[in-house]
Amino acid sequence: MSAIAPPVGTARPPTTAPTAQTPATAPKPPKKVGHDLSTKVLIGLVIALLLLLIGYPLARVLWNAFTADGRQVLSHIFSSDTSNPKVVLRTLILGLTVGSLGTVIGFLIAYAQVRLHYRGKKIVHLLALMPIVSPPFAVATATITLFGRRGLISHGLFGLSISPYGLGGLTFVLALSFFPVAYMNFKGMLEHLDPALDEAAQSLGARKWHIFWTVTLPMLVPGIAGSFLLLFVEAIADLANPLAIGGDYTVLASRAYIAITGEYNLSQGAAYSVVLLFPALLVFLVQRYWVSRKSVVAVTGKPAGKPQLVRSGVGRTVLLIVLGVFVALIVLMYGTVIVGGFIQSLGINNTWTLDNYRFILQGIGSEAMWKTTAMALVATPVAGVLGMLIAWMVVRKLRGSAAGAMDFIGMLGLAVPGVVVGIGYMTAYNKAFVHDGWQFFPALTGGRAIIGGALGIVLVYIIRSMPSGQRSGVAALQQIDPAIDEASTSLGASGLTTFRLITLPLIRPAFLSGLSYSFARSMTTLSPIIFITTPKTKIMTSQIFAEVDAGRFGHAFAYCTILIIIVMAVIGLINLVVRDRSPMANVGLGS
Amino acid sequence: MSSLPTPRTTTGHLQLTGLEKVFATKKGSFRALDRIDLDIAPGEFITLLGPSGCGKTTTLRIIAGFETPTGGDVVLDGDSIVTVTPEKRPMAMVFQSYALFPHMSVWDNVAYGLKLKKLPAADLKEQVESALTSMGLTQMKDRAPSQMSGGQQQRVALARAMVMRPKVLLFDEPLSNLDAKLRVAMRSEIRRLQKRLGITAVYVTHDQDEAMSMSDRIVVMNEGKVEQAASPAEVYRHPASVFVADFIGRANFLKVAQARPEGEGSARVAVLGAEVTTPAAPGATAGPCVLLVRPESVRLAPTDRAAIGGRVGRILSTVFFGESVEYVVESAEGNITAVEADPEVDKILEPGQMVEIGFGHERSWLLPAGGKEAYQD
Ligand SMILES: Nc1ncnc2c1ncn2[C@@H]1O[C@H](COP(=O)(O)OP(=O)(O)OP(=O)(O)O)[C@@H](O)[C@H]1O
Ligand SMILES: [Mg+2]
């Protein structure tokens, strides 16, 4: 053996006996190392904020639902002498149909995008993301205009007179509105599926279709289940479309809305929304903690190579035709929205006009436009930073059930249906908090609230849009070697310093997409907001709803177009402003 | 360069007393560390060596403060630091994955800790420059970590830790991602710097050569316990247990028919049909024992005897490695491995050849037989 260094200094003389002696006394249990002060304070602050943003409103809805009126609804929910069981059943059926159709559409497009060779992929991708940046009524009004009783296509082209109102139209519109969730889900999954698996199957002599059925599809089962469940939750929680195109197909969300705005029965509205809350939460939990754990794809990490793209074959042709129909449909929808804004009344009085835009840009519309944008702009950075903070705590600072609980409470803003959130805010924050003559904080929602109720709306925007940032933050953080955080700590940085100097810059892409998504979500949300808008704070989506309700589609189309333009412009701006210009920026997380 | 006088180190005296770590797992709990006692002198270079899962990383992370022990204490220069948060401990860690900050240049990486210390700009610049110079990184100070080779990245990681002048440097398998040549070069570089700065070092590895060539003392661990803590020579020549003997280097364990103590630290044993006197571990003769003979201590001589028995065996296989030749010999006591260094090519023995087995008695070592069953393959 080579160079043997002598012991240094007062090192214990070498012994031939093993040194693992038993100490005379049992070692005393040590105190916990714990977190440094800044981290502790931060965790406390975030917990307090989450309680304010979602915990208390949720508790209030539950409390309301269990008052006398509410209990009456709850007790009759399954009794056949009311219409309640029917409402529940219809809600669940809608969840099933939208979940299935949306998942199929999302999967087909994702598969075509990742595995087929064709031109124009980028455009198809952008078109597929359109529903994310557009307000809830765009697709519904376009559908009525195109395929309604006097629809441009159904009646004008084919002479049919079919009604778009009801389950059929609702499923069509919701599937078109929510499939991007499934599409993004599958796209990520297919891209991360190790092509070596396919290659292995191929080298064993399997043909493409056979590979698809025996290798690709089984690997995607958790993804399929996950997408279905996510869409299910979105569908049963949606309020805008059942109001616009549901006709007399009443679901729980619209029933709750009618109870509150039509019958002025708050407790009943709360009770209906609570009935909606449980399946939504249950499905969300199953999706998040059961399906995602079963996911094989997630753990295989970065793919080893690029999969071979399918360039020919019958399957490809069929899929491309489906894709073509889909693209045509999307273009048609948004084409209708854009063109419809410049026409008196599309399909009825087809004369060109600028009246719609004049109404919006000069009348009441412009106020809603500026205020909505301003409130969303205030909420977005807060939601973005909060989402990243929570993600960081969940992945790095908390362990075991504490991390799980924090993650779950953060995600509640997404999992809890908008109607529940709206009713919660309406009842929880419509009065000032006064205790022993001390006013802790003023009313946040309703007519007498501070800043005309704007603060309440901003808070709703924050809690509704924060979870998407949290989720992308968690995913990004899990990719970063924990040793990088530890290295920073070991060099003397506190938790907060590490977050600021190391973590945040490293998750910048996730942060950016979180910001963009937050803004889009704030601008397009309706179901929680509709309960807390005040005369002083007009919101674009609820203005659009009023126009649709009054049958003034021209106004609605113009509103939708402007909203889409605002969202796209701000997302572009966010990407410009927050972009990193330092030379290290493009180096990324390589190696 | 190496003629610089080694500073007399007075700080960095690290003591672990009765350290315990029990992890809560899904099925109850798992004891990763079981009463670890270690006394590490100021400026000492100590290596934790042991098979995968024996608790090396856990020990290191407890010292760094990233894990909380469930029992016992960590004492630095007389003060218990077990409740001190990691960023307040005067230690720096070098990670297996380097853990460089990917969004910062080499210079910014190295300056990171000093900036947090709010060092005056001039001092900071000087210290960072000198750290970069000593690691030969001056040319690359503006590069991003991803634009460097593994060896260069590890040098940055080293510079980043050293520039903090910590009392204790912690290494978790820092060289395991490098290729063999680079590993050897980095070993001496780390050792040189550690000696020059006089920093106490705790180094985790499962590479024996690394442990042997760098350490003042090697701590051999097994299943959360310390099997032996001693100088490399001691650990190799006088292992405390069959486990240590088997883990460090290669070993033949010969069955011992009878053994009786003969004076201090030696014993008379019957082995391979003959009686010999051998150095013995304390208490080895109290129970069942085995005789450790390293392959390079075994001598083979051709013989005409036809039957296996006593000292006579038959060669089963011969493998020529260039600088040495390795034989496996079938004997009455099982198979014995022998290594002959610098063999004469025309005197290499063929398989089937009968041989007489001998070994340098002063090089053998009598051990208690406890623990490991892996006597022979
Ligand atoms: N957080 C944890 N929860 C449960 N068990 C753990 C945890 N961390 C480590 N262990 C277990 O403790 C034991 C010691 O782990 P440790 O990482 O210290 O091993 P090691 O000696 O560094 O091994 P290697 O050479 O493979 O790095 C292992 O059996 C490991 O499975
Ligand atoms: Mg380890």
If DSSP codes are grouped into helix, strand and coil, which group holds residue A437? coil
pLDDT tens per residue, range A159-192: 677 778 888 889 999 999 999 989 988 888 888 7
pLDDT given for residue A51 in this prediction = 92
Which of A295-304, A377-386, A429-438, A565-574 is the least confident region?
Answer: A295-304
The rounded Å distance from CA B52 to ligand 2 centre is 7
If DSSP codes are grouped into helix, strand and coil, which group holds residue B225? strand
Confidence of residue A1 (pLDDT cuts 50, 70, 90): very low
Instruction: Closest CB to B230: pick one of A14, A33, A490.
Output: A14
Instruction: Decide if B37 touches A, using CB distance below 8 A.
Output: yes
Ligand 1: which residue has its CA nearest to atom 22? B57
The rounded Å distance from CA A379 to ligand 2 centre is 44
pLDDT tens per residue, range A123-145: 999 999 889 888 888 999 998 88
pLDDT given for residue A295 in this prediction = 52
Cα torsion at A513, A515, A519, A524 (round to 10°)? Answer: 40
pLDDT given for residue B180 in this prediction = 83
Q: Is the confidence at residue A446, as pLDDT, over 70?
A: yes
Smallest CA–CA separation between A224 and chain B, in Å? 29
Q: Is the confidence at residue A391, as pLDDT, over 50?
A: yes
- Contact between chains at B37 and A14 (C-beta distance less than 8 A): no
- Contact between chains at A14 and B231 (C-beta distance less than 8 A): yes
Q: Is the confidence at residue A419, as pLDDT, over 70?
A: yes
Query: What average pLDDT does this structure show over A328-343?
Result: 91
Which of the two residues, A79 and B71, has the higher pLDDT score? B71
Cα–Cα dist A266/A275, whole Å: 14
Which of the two residues, A580 and A382, has the higher pLDDT score? A382
pLDDT given for residue B2 in this prediction = 42
Q: Is the confidence at residue B363, as pLDDT, over 90?
A: no
pLDDT given for residue A94 in this prediction = 95
Residue of A nearest to B217 (CA): A7
Domains located in chain B, CATH noted: 14-237 (3.40.50.300), 250-368 (2.40.50.140)
Q: Is the confidence at residue A4, as pLDDT, over 70?
A: no
- Contact between chains at B99 and A483 (C-beta distance less than 8 A): yes
Instruction: Closest CB to A492: pick one of B19, B42, B117.
Output: B117
- Contact between chains at A8 and B216 (C-beta distance less than 8 A): yes
Confidence of residue A116 (pLDDT cuts 50, 70, 90): confident
Confidence of residue B151 (pLDDT cuts 50, 70, 90): confident
- Contact between chains at A17 and B232 (C-beta distance less than 8 A): no
Ligand 1: which residue has its CA nearest to atom 4? B23
Which of A586-590, B196-200, B322-326, B364-368 is the least confident region?
Answer: A586-590
Cα–Cα dist A166/A300, whole Å: 43
- Contact between chains at A489 and B232 (C-beta distance less than 8 A): no
Instruction: Decide if B279 touches A, using CB distance below 8 A.
Output: no
Ligand 1: which residue has its CA nearest to atom 26? B52
What is the separation, in whole angstroms, between the first and last Cα of chain B? 48
- Contact between chains at A584 and B104 (C-beta distance less than 8 A): yes
Query: What average pLDDT does this structure show over B239-264?
Result: 88
Under a CB-based contact definition with an 8 Å cutoff, are residues B239 and B249 in contact?
Answer: no
Element containing residue A369 per DSSP (H, E): helix A364-392
The rounded Å distance from CA B56 to ligand 1 centre is 8
Instruction: Closest CB to B146: pick one of A18, A32, A590.
Output: A590
Q: Is the confidence at residue A299, as pLDDT, over 60?
A: no
Q: Is the confidence at residue A365, as pLDDT, over 90?
A: no
Q: Going by DSSP bridges, is the β-strand pair B289-293/B71-76 parallel, antiparallel, or unpaired?
A: unpaired
Among residues B236, B263, B107, the alpha carbon closest in space to that of A584 is found at B107
Under a CB-based contact definition with an 8 Å cutoff, are residues B318 and B327 in contact?
Answer: yes
Q: Using a CB-CB distance cutoff of 8 angstroms, which residues of chain B are in contact with residue A17? A: 240, 281-282
Ligand 1: which residue has its CA nearest to atom 28? B53
pLDDT tens per residue, range A475-500: 888 888 888 989 999 999 988 899 88
What ipTM was estimated for this complex?
A: 0.80
Which of the two residues, A219 and A398, has the higher pLDDT score? A398
Q: Is the confidence at residue B4, as pLDDT, over 70?
A: no
Which residues in chain B (296-325) have CB-CB distances under 8 A to chain A? none
Instruction: Closest CB to B41: pick one of A8, A34, A585.
Output: A8
The rounded Å distance from CA B55 to ligand 1 centre is 6
Query: What average pLDDT does this structure show over A340-362?
Result: 82
Under a CB-based contact definition with an 8 Å cutoff, are residues B37 and B66 in contact?
Answer: no
Confidence of residue A208 (pLDDT cuts 50, 70, 90): low
Cα–Cα dist A131/A142, whole Å: 13
- Return the structure tokens found at B201: 């070092």
Q: Is the confidence at residue A311, as pLDDT, over 90?
A: no
Residues with CB under 6 A from ligand 1: B 23, 25, 30, 32, 50, 52-58, 206
Q: Is the confidence at residue B84, as pLDDT, over 50?
A: yes
pLDDT given for residue A580 in this prediction = 57
Question: A586 vs A306, A581, B144, CA distance in Å?
Answer: 22, 9, 10
- Contact between chains at B102 and A506 (C-beta distance less than 8 A): yes
pLDDT given for residue A442 in this prediction = 76
Q: Is the confidence at residue A202, as pLDDT, over 70?
A: no
Q: Please state the φ and ψ torsions of residue A519, each to the nearest 5 degrees.
A: -65, -45
Q: Is the confidence at residue B375, as pLDDT, over 60?
A: no
pLDDT tens per residue, range A432-442: 777 777 776 77
Q: Is the dihedral of CA A331, A334, A338, A341 positive or negative?
A: positive
Under a CB-based contact definition with an 8 Å cutoff, are residues B304 and B353 in contact?
Answer: no
Query: What average pLDDT does this structure show over A74-86?
Result: 75
Instruction: Decide if B346 touches A, using CB distance below 8 A.
Output: no
Q: Please state the φ and ψ torsions of residue A197, each to the nearest 5 degrees.
A: -65, -50
Cα–Cα dist A302/B219, whole Å: 38
Q: Using a CB-CB distance cutoff of 8 angstroms, which residues of chain B are in contact with residue A4? A: 212, 231-233
Confidence of residue A586 (pLDDT cuts 50, 70, 90): very low
Among B23, B62, B173, residue to substitute to test ligand 1 (most atoms within 8 Å of Cβ)? B23
Q: Is the confidence at residue A25, as pLDDT, over 60?
A: no
pLDDT given for residue A3 in this prediction = 37
Ligand 1: which residue has its CA nearest to atom 1? B23
Confidence of residue A304 (pLDDT cuts 50, 70, 90): very low
Number of A:B CB contacts under 8 A?
207
Q: Using a CB-CB distance cutoff of 8 angstroms, which residues of chain A are in contact with residue B18? A: 23, 26-27
Interface test with A, best of B13, B48, B116 (most A CBs within 10 A): B116
Local structure of residue A188 (DSSP, 8 states): H
Looking at domain A2-23+48-345+355-587, which CATH architecture does it have?
Answer: Orthogonal Bundle (1.10)
Q: Is the confidence at residue B166, as pLDDT, over 70?
A: yes
Residue of B nearest to A488 (CA): B113
In the sheet that B312-320 helps form, which strands lie side by side, from edge to edge? B298-302, B354-359, B312-320, B324-331, B334-341
- Contact between chains at A23 and B95 (C-beta distance less than 8 A): no
- Contact between chains at A584 and B144 (C-beta distance less than 8 A): yes
Under a CB-based contact definition with an 8 Å cutoff, are residues A254 and A235 in contact?
Answer: no
Among residues A418, A445, A450, the alpha carbon closest in space to that of A534 is found at A445
Residue of A nearest to B19 (CA): A27
Cα–Cα dist A61/A266, whole Å: 10
Query: Across chain A, what does the average pLDDT equal?
Result: 81
pLDDT tens per residue, range A497-524: 998 899 888 888 888 888 888 899 999 9
Among residues B103, B354, B321, the alpha carbon closest in space to that of A590 is found at B103
β-bridge partners, B326: B319, B339
Cα–Cα dist A291/A545, whole Å: 36
- Contact between chains at B241 and A18 (C-beta distance less than 8 A): yes
Query: What average pLDDT does this structure show over A251-257?
Result: 90
Under a CB-based contact definition with an 8 Å cutoff, are residues B253 and A26 in contact?
Answer: no
Among residues A466, A467, A412, A451, the alpha carbon closest in space to that of A532 is found at A451
- Return the structure tokens found at A484: 């990088």
Confidence of residue B264 (pLDDT cuts 50, 70, 90): confident
Which of the two residues, A360 and A452, has the higher pLDDT score? A360
If DSSP codes are grouped into helix, strand and coil, which group holds residue B315? strand
Under a CB-based contact definition with an 8 Å cutoff, are residues A119 and A153 in contact?
Answer: no
Q: Where are the alpha helices (DSSP H) in A501-552?
A: 504-506, 508-524, 540-549
If DSSP codes are grouped into helix, strand and coil, which group holds residue B276? strand
pLDDT given for residue A301 in this prediction = 40
Cα–Cα dist A241/A313, whole Å: 39
Which of A8-12, A332-336, B307-311 is the least confident region?
Answer: A8-12
Q: Is the confidence at residue B325, as pLDDT, over 80?
A: yes
pLDDT given for residue B178 in this prediction = 82
Q: Is the confidence at residue A38, as pLDDT, over 70?
A: yes
Instruction: Closest CB to B86: pick one of A11, A17, A490.
Output: A490
Cα–Cα dist A514/A494, whole Å: 25
Confidence of residue A579 (pLDDT cuts 50, 70, 90): low
Instruction: Closest CB to B228: pick one of A1, A18, A488.
Output: A18
Ligand with minimal distance to B30 CA? 1
The rounded Å distance from CA A497 to ligand 2 centre is 27
User: What is the residue type of B139?
Assistant: Q
Q: Give the start-end residues of each E strand in A82-132.
A: none
Q: Please state the φ and ψ torsions of residue B226, each to the nearest 5 degrees.
A: -85, 120
Q: Write the CB contacts of B314 (distance below 8 Å, at least 6 apart in sequence).
A: B308, B329, B330, B352, B353, B354, B355
Q: Is the confidence at residue A561, as pLDDT, over 50?
A: yes
